[in-house]
Structure 1
Amino acid sequence: MSADCVVLTVVVDHPRVTLWKVIGDPELYPRFFRGISFCQCVEVPTLARPGRYHLRASFGDGDILDHALTTMIYRAGEQVVFASEPDTGAWVSIKLLDGGAGRTEVKIVFFRPSLQHDRASNWHDSQILAWARDGLQRIVRYLSRTPELLPRNRKDLMAPPLKVAKTLIKAGIIAPTGPAKVVRQLRALATWGATLAGGYAAAAARSPKDVAIVDELGERTFTDVIERTTRLANGLADRGIGADRPVGVLARNHGTMIETLIACSKLGVDVVLLNTGLSAQQVEDIGIRHKLDAVISDDEFDGIVEYLPERTFRISTAAHSTHTGRPTIEKIISEGADTAIKSPEKPGRLIVLTSGTTGTPKGARRPTPKGLGEAASVLSRIPLKVGDRMLIAAPLFHSWGLAALQLSMPLRSTLVLRNKFDAEDTLAAIAEHKVTTLFAVPIMLQRILNLPAHVRARYDTSSLRIVASSGSALSGSMVTAFMDTFGDVLYNFYGSTEVSWATIADPADLRAAPTTAGRPPLGTRVAILGSNGEPMPPGSVGRIFVGNDMLFDGYTDGGGRKIEHDMMETGDTGFTDADGRLFVSGRDDEMIISGGENVFPRPVEEVLAALPQVEEVAVVGVPDAEYGQRLAAYVVVREGARLDEDAVRAYVHQRLARFSVPRDVTFLEALPRNQTGKVVKRLLTEGDWIDQH
């Protein structure tokens, strides 16, 4: 048990004015003090009024401790005293005194710490002092620009085989079965490798009668999928499609698209996954750039593919196409031979297009997994299990939807697919098929939350164990609202087409720190580097670099991403907190300099997203004659709510520094988004789009 008064006095080699930049900003405390996972200013302290903060702590046992704090004493540059609200009689004082010759004496007083919460009664003075000293040391390293140690190199960080095996056993991928099935599984993987063809062949060898796909046309077992894709591959080969003839696929989420990808995998064909939101001009450009010999598409996209060169062979995914003379996938399957296919000399590549939020999409060559180690990496943070019924709402042409498909193979999951996303239909599908796992992008989760409570209550979603989100940032307010509604089932996956995965936040992380991107999974390294590739000090914002075994193989135009210390840049900036969680500040090219201050839009978006009147918000930098740049906010107000520009600015001003207050506030009916739900911010600064909306 601790004493009523615990005092730590430390002298540091930094002047008081420098140290106050951290001590005077409690929102920075999570970066330096372990266990403090979240701190948000509710009202900025001044000489005339106390500051108010919402602080959250988590000390590793799963308990989340929320505190409302007020500043009993606030003397800028000298002292701050925090007390609980309502007052419990406990307080913490941090006082800075001149230590001479550019040094500062830091005196921290914990008064009656055992009154903070029940578990504090077990703390000892030595534990409290060690905790405070550790945080101060991290602050000193930050101010001294002492770099963090880089993660070990890729070879040293390779996931230990025992950990991989334990993860696969826990997921049920490695489990006892008859020797005949094991032999057939191994033979399939030896023949096709860890490709879509190999994954489905191995699943069919182990669970031939289990349902592989459920879509709006019906069900298919793993055996059905293997037999149909063999016929399809032979039929495509008869029409001249082979390893040296790349194919484009433009389709919604349905079983025929998956069968097409598997058949192309059996032939070793490179497949370009075309975004359903592309224009006809973009598809034509991509077709020419990638020298597509064939395009397999849904009939609804006829107007998009019609401008491809005449030599481009067109195939319809429809059961009965409206185009005379255009073969359908079903016709090719019915005419294809069921004879075994010789495995290609090298596996075909899946080429995913970048999101295109800043221009024309580029093709990124995704690597073929080398085995089950890559699956084990994700499974070490997202506890998927064999036999999960998985609804993939994220588009399959997107890297997140594709990742879900690839994960589903070793798990022998039943895939539940819908051509188009609809929030209520998604809940209905979860209830009807007892879905255990939902893969979605954030805007889909927001649409589900936006359904009236009585509509959500119609559907039994208790089967859901996991809701995995990726593709863009989750706002902290939405994270909390979703888990309060559906339980602690949410997982936030941070990665990109280029680096695959970087970090994953599980429900415990998200309860502790709702805006976190999480922690690196098994066999993955994340580092925060400076502009010249140098490691940054603890708590510093810098460029995010990632190392794992699934870094992409470059863009199809020959370009790539910068590599430092055997890690690849993501294009984002961020920092890690004292407990090792990653936080993404925003895109590297989104940061602005306003009046000499570095400003990121993301914190402003987080603040405004917490307003109950706000449906969605985007903040961007725009030119400013006086300050160089300034922030502009684009706000969508919830139906029936009212909000004006002054209220928006005042709300931000209460919670963030002056230079973060958006001087321009524009109200819109909707934000511009691409097909994966990511906000296309460049359109917000284009007058034509704003005029039309």
Structure 2
Amino acid sequence: MDLPFVVATLTRRGLLTPGRPSRIAAQLGALRKWGLSLGGELRQATARNPDRTVVIDEEGAELTYAELLDRAERTARAMRAALGVRAGDRVGVLCRNHHGLIETIVAATLLGADAVLVNTGLSAAQLATVAEEQRLRVLVHDAEFAERVVGLPAEVHRLDERAREELVAGASPGALRPPERDGRIIVLTSGTTGAPKGARRPTPHGFGPLVSIIDRIPLHAGDRVLIAAPIFHTWGFAALQVCFALRATIVLHRRFDPAATLAALTRQRCDALFAVPVMLQRLLEVPPPDPRPPLKVVAVSGSALPGGLAPRFMDVYGDVLYNLYGSTEVSWASIADPADLRAAPTTAGRPPHGTRLAILDTAGEPVPDGAVGRIFVGNEMLFEGYTSGATRERRDGLLDTGDLGRLDADGLLFVDGRADDMIVSGGENVFPSEVEDLLAGLPQVREAAVIGVPDPEYGQRLAAFLALHPGETLDPEAVREYVRHYLARFSVPRDVVFVRYLPRNATGKVLTRELRRYYT
């Protein structure tokens, strides 16, 4: 990424402001010595603003940057001394959003160990599989997950919150040196259709990744940010990285509750909210506070924005919504700003600076504007492969996202869904997401999901699952007629199933495998 653009963006976002020479020197020294790992980012922020509050959580913790670094260092020394954790080992973290989660991840990187971010929605059997496949040496977990970790392999050390606190309190003094290798962050894929896979995230080698994001999403140094997205997910973890780089104050709640979130945004005077799309839907279901939270940015990612959600949210909270499309494997691909979302509410936006995006056919050739093809992305933070040794297809330095999409004449990206979600019904290609967006616009519908199911005559057919707002009713034939009015005949769902709620994982993605059980 070109240096003038980096400098201009960092200046515009308040990161190159004057300061005490001794602190700036210490900040640069921390970056030079520790790099841009999460531990290095925390060290540079501490060097510059040691007394600034870094995290406020609902457990009552309100830690400064210096206090958080001290706790993370004590955690690291304790894990090394008591549990033998060394560079290259893997530390599992099964925690909700609170300061202990952050301390543990930072501690692992300070030792050069890999932190495996474990989805809080996994079952006991899935946890045991993850522990074995990821070769965990330690699993740090919240007390609420005690019953789920009973079946882990005997060689895995298990630390609940109380045990971790005892280790930290008893940690011996002593300075930590930069590890012989960078500790990696391993994020588990969402596993909506199968077992989660571990994806190795690279350590940034410069300011390019940060600049790519904050150029399009106007976050500033010292902002106050509520991270509602789970930090074990790529988007929540990205928010944590950005906040450390910005020397921001982070507000955390263990669980998302719309009323509590709105109250915290107002009480803590938050400038920004990081969330997943379903959280916006929940926020709109409770009365907005008066006055409104002083939000300048609401940044969402993790799943597609349902049709109509973006303008409805901005009508209430202002034109502050930014939608990032990406994945665990490619990090980011495009960002839609409020103007993009007003013009085209379902768009994924445009590639940010330093990102290449191409829509390719099955032979790897570019398709014309408006034509659907496979989405390939290139940027500085493409994943390093799965921990199993597998990877994704690459073409000319671009990585396959696994999604299908198209670019319009103005360069806006539209994502049609996963390549393996597209169905062929009676010889016609059908994208369930197009039908989902249409059905989500019905006033009676709270949320909608459309999937392909086997059909003896047509090969496959569409089935629509609808959760309605309380007190609302819909007739299945009326739903089919509504789709028939707007879309082609082969897009009409043969089956319309009404459910109380859609099954979702902890990041808000619909678990399609649970819906398919209706047909097994």
Category of TM-score, reference length = shorter chain: over 0.9
1:681, 1:305 → 2: CA distance? 26
Letter in 2 for 1:263: A
Q: Is residue 2:97 matched to residue 1:253?
A: yes
Which digits, 9 at most, give the CA deviation of each residue in 1:608-635, with x for residues without a partner?
A: 1111001111111122232222211111
1:608, 1:224 → 2: CA distance? 49
Could you tell me whether the CA contact under 8 Å between 2:146 and 2:160 is conserved in 1? Answer: no
Matches for 1:187-586 after TM superposition, within 5 Å: 187-216=29-58, 217-239=60-82, 240-317=84-161, 321=162, 328-451=163-286, 453=287, 456-458=288-290, 460-586=291-417
Could you tell me whether the CA contact under 8 Å between 1:474 and 1:515 is conserved in 2? Answer: yes
Which digits, 9 at most, give the CA deviation of each residue in 1:13-55, with x for residues without a partner?
A: xxxxxxxxxxxxxxxxxxxxxxxxxxxxxxxxxxxxxxxxxxx
Unaligned ranges ≥5, structure 1: 1-158, 322-327
Please give the secondary structure, in 1, of the residue aligned with 2:187. strand
Provide the TM-score with structure 2 as the length reference. 0.98
Letter in 1 for 2:268: H
Which digits, 9 at most, give the CA deviation of each residue in 1:350-386, with x for residues without a partner?
A: 1000000111100000001112111001111101000
Which digits, 9 at most, give the CA deviation of each residue in 1:37-87, with x for residues without a partner?
A: xxxxxxxxxxxxxxxxxxxxxxxxxxxxxxxxxxxxxxxxxxxxxxxxxxx
More off after superposition, 280-289 vs 493-502: 280-289
Q: Is residue 2:438 matched to residue 1:594?
A: no
Which digits, 9 at most, give the CA deviation of each residue in 1:145-174, with x for residues without a partner?
A: xxxxxxxxxxxxxx2211111111111112
Please give the secondary structure, in 1, of the residue aligned with 2:308. helix
2:292, 2:183 → 1: CA distance? 38
Could you tell me whether the CA contact under 8 Å between 2:270 and 2:293 is conserved in 1? Answer: no
Could you tell me whether the CA contact under 8 Å between 1:227 and 1:338 is conserved in 2? Answer: no
1:490, 1:522 → 2: CA distance? 19
Offset of residue 672 of structure 1: 1.2
Q: What is aligned with 2:455?
A: 624
More off after superposition, 520-529 vs 532-541: 532-541
Unaligned ranges ≥5, structure 2: none
Aligned residue-pair number? 518
Letter in 1 for 2:254: N
Could you tell me whether the CA contact under 8 Å between 1:211 and 1:222 is conserved in 2? Answer: yes
Offset of residue 286 of structure 1: 1.1
Letter in 1 for 2:66: T
Letter in 1 for 2:55: I
More off after superposition, 570-579 vs 619-628: 619-628
1:384, 1:409 → 2: CA distance? 12
Could you tell me whether the CA contact under 8 Å between 1:389 and 1:414 is conserved in 2? Answer: yes
Offset of residue 291 of structure 1: 1.4
Which digits, 9 at most, give the CA deviation of each residue in 1:324-367, with x for residues without a partner?
A: xxxx2222222113421011011111100000011110000000
Offset of residue 688 of structure 1: 7.7
2:74, 2:271 → 1: CA distance? 32
Please give the secondary structure, in 2, of the residue aligned with 1:590. coil
Could you tell me whether the CA contact under 8 Å between 1:295 and 1:314 is conserved in 2? Answer: yes
Which digits, 9 at most, give the CA deviation of each residue in 1:239-277, with x for residues without a partner?
A: 111113211110000001101111111111111111100
1:370, 1:457 → 2: CA distance? 42
Could you tell me whether the CA contact under 8 Å between 1:230 and 1:338 is conserved in 2? Answer: no
Offset of residue 657 of structure 1: 1.2
What percentage of aligned pairs have identical amino acids? 53
Greater gyration radius: 1
1:509, 1:269 → 2: CA distance? 41
1:164, 1:647 → 2: CA distance? 54
Provide the TM-score with structure 1 as the length reference. 0.74
1:628, 1:435 → 2: CA distance? 51
Please give the secondary structure, in 2, of the residue aligned with 1:649. helix
2:255, 2:518 → 1: CA distance? 30
Letter in 1 for 2:489: R
2:424, 2:140 → 1: CA distance? 46
1:257, 1:169 → 2: CA distance? 31
Please give the secondary structure, in 2, of the residue aligned with 1:333. helix
Could you tell me whether the CA contact under 8 Å between 1:185 and 1:203 is conserved in 2? Answer: yes
Letter in 2 for 1:259: E
Letter in 1 for 2:157: F
1:410, 1:294 → 2: CA distance? 28
1:518, 1:422 → 2: CA distance? 28
Could you tell me whether the CA contact under 8 Å between 1:230 and 1:339 is conserved in 2? Answer: no
1:625, 1:233 → 2: CA distance? 58
Q: What is aligned with 2:498?
A: 667
1:236, 1:566 → 2: CA distance? 39
Could you tell me whether the CA contact under 8 Å between 2:61 and 2:99 is conserved in 1? Answer: no
Please give the secondary structure, in 2, of the residue aligned with 1:618. strand
Which digits, 9 at most, give the CA deviation of each residue in 1:513-552, with x for residues without a partner?
A: 1000000011001100001211112211000000001000
Please give the secondary structure, in 2, of the residue aligned with 1:380. helix
1:588, 1:688 → 2: CA distance? 21
1:244, 1:520 → 2: CA distance? 34
Please give the secondary structure, in 1, of the residue aligned with 2:167. helix
1:279, 1:477 → 2: CA distance? 34
Please give the secondary structure, in 1, of the residue aligned with 2:174. coil
Could you tell me whether the CA contact under 8 Å between 2:88 and 2:183 is conserved in 1? Answer: no
